[in-house]
Amino acid sequence: MLVRDAMSTVVLTIGPTHTLRQAAALMSTRRVGAAVVHDPDAGGIGILTERDILISVGLGQSPDTERAHDHTTNDVVFAAPSWTLEEAARAMAHGGFRHLIVLDHDEPVGIVSVRDIIRCWAPARQHVPA
């Protein structure tokens, strides 16, 4: 199975000046665990994850004043839609992260998460009558 078969095509894109609260609200509304941060001044595309927001709040930083650009990972490993899920899982395990931005012709077309891969690899849930 390929990344294109598992990825979410809901790509939330935010700017670098969004506060962490704004980013969290958008992520919650869209039901996604990561946002693509588009910052042409900092080299293009980065990623802000729920973990990044949690770490900031855990450090006592204010989600109302902290900006996405200060918590964005800019050294991003990107996946291609044609990667196998094994390649994506290997990249995640090697890098210690749970999301990969999927690029097609240098444009974000999706995000694949560990959860997406597990859903594809795990047997479908069977409804068992009570």
Residues 38, 47: Cα–Cα separation, whole Å: 9
**β-strand partners of 79:** 102
pLDDT tens for the chain, 130 residues long, are: 999 999 999 899 999 999 999 999 999 999 999 999 998 777 789 999 999 999 999 999 999 999 999 999 988 899 999 999 999 999 999 999 999 999 999 889 999 999 999 999 886 655 556 5
Q: Are 39 and 69 in contact (CB under 8 A)?
A: yes
Question: How far is residue 42 from each of residues 70, 102, 108, 111, measured CA to CA in Å?
Answer: 11, 19, 17, 21
Return the exposure string of 34-66: e unless at least 16 CB atoms fall within 10 Å of the residue's CB, then b.
bbbbebeeeeebbbbbbebbeebeeeeeeeeeb
- The whole model's pTM is what? 0.85
DSSP letters along 1-70, please? -BHHHH-B----EE-TT-BHHHHHHHHHHHT-SEEEEEEGGGTEEEEEEHHHHHHHHHTT--TTT-BGGG
